Amino acid sequence: MDQRPLLFFDSGIGGLSVLAATRALLPTAPIVYAADSAGFPYGIRTEAEIAARVPALLGRLAERYHPRLIVIACNTASTIALAAVRSALDLPIVGTVPAIKPAALISATRTIGVLGTDATVRQPYVDDLAARFAADCTVIRHGSADLVEAAEARLRGEAVDPARFAAALDGLFAQPGGAAIDTIVLACTHFPLVADDLAAAAGRPISFVDGSAGIARRVAYLTQGQDWPAKARTGTAVFSLLDDRARALAPALMAHGLDELAAL
């Protein structure tokens, strides 16, 4: 039986939103979840830093765990480093990009918000997606490093002030034309983990869209016909910095079948 895992990679634990969607389709797949906690958060780092860190870390992880496929479950890392990782590693690499296309399909007001990290929302890749799939829409962007921190805090079991979620949304709504937003792309994998908090803070009906289901379908397609264990086994969460903040995430990781903690 093929025991090679699927490897999910993010700066923190945002990729759990993608892992959950993939587990729904491939429930017995062996899993390694890797968090670059020493580099967290990516959204405030430069493109050059991310472009250097991500291929190097994934090279080390591939050597250690021999995955059958890698999911870069991070919009920022994908928009900056995906091509370099694919060039460096001889195995399938699935990236994560803002779900602008599905958002454009459902927006009635033709005004879409893109809520991500600072590094993601400024990428030319986002310009291209908007031009290709939402040319008839107004696309308003906002980067929030604090929302990434709030999501991590929530999963560590800490209380999070609801004003932090409202502030992130106000970064979209307060911009010219922002009052017409009816659909928001959650362009950071951390944000679906706090979608309920965002919905409560919005104060009006908003559709939130993310790419996790599409990524899961892509992983299932690329691995169709492969052997999987008959039963799900304990997964491993590996951190580039295994400190107290990382260990505090253990309950959230266990809820996603990741019972083992390791240091890279």
Euclidean distance between CA atoms 214 and 226, whole angstroms: 20
**Contact of 254 with 24, CB cutoff 8 Å:** no
Question: Is 188 designated active site?
Answer: yes
| 144: Cα separation from own chain's centroid | 14
Task: Name the residue among 52, 15, 64 with its Cα closest to residue 219.
Answer: 15
Q: How far is CA 90 from the centre of its chain?
A: 23
Please report where in the chains the tokens 């995955």 appear, as a residue. 67
| Residue 4 DSSP one-character state | P
Tell which residue, 189, 210, 212, has the closest CA to residue 21: 212
Selecting among 57, 74, 85, 148, the annotated active-site residue is: 74
| Residues paired with 116 in a beta bridge | 143, 187
**Containing H/E element for 94?**
strand 93-94
137 in active site: no
Q: How far apart are CA 62 and CA 163, in angstroms?
A: 40
Q: Exactly one of 77, 119, 151, 188 is catalytic; which is it?
A: 188
Q: In what order do the strands lie in the sheet with 183-187?
A: 138-143, 111-116, 183-187, 207-209
* Residues carrying an active site annotation: 74, 188
